[in-house]
Amino acid sequence: MARKSLTCKELGNEDCKRKFTGYNEGEVLMKAIQHIMWDHKVEKVTPEMKDNIRSLIKDEPAS
């Protein structure tokens, strides 16, 4: 099973180099939400924001 990944840059934060990886979409989603709330000071993550984040999560290439 392929690991999932997402970068903060893909979320629109061009200067942020943070990458989130996990074994499933939920794990990556949780890491990304925690990061944007703590490091980018986003106070509330709406269902629409979660859907957008979820849509950007992709399978990592096999190594």
- What global pTM score does this model have? 0.90
As a whole number of angstroms, the distance between CA 13 and CA 26 comes to 21
As a whole number of angstroms, the distance between CA 33 and CA 50 comes to 8
Number of domains in the chain: 1
Domain of residue 21, residue span: 4-59
The helix (run of H) or strand (run of E) holding residue 46 is none
pLDDT tens digits for range 7-60: 999 999 999 999 999 999 999 999 999 999 999 999 999 999 999 999 999 999
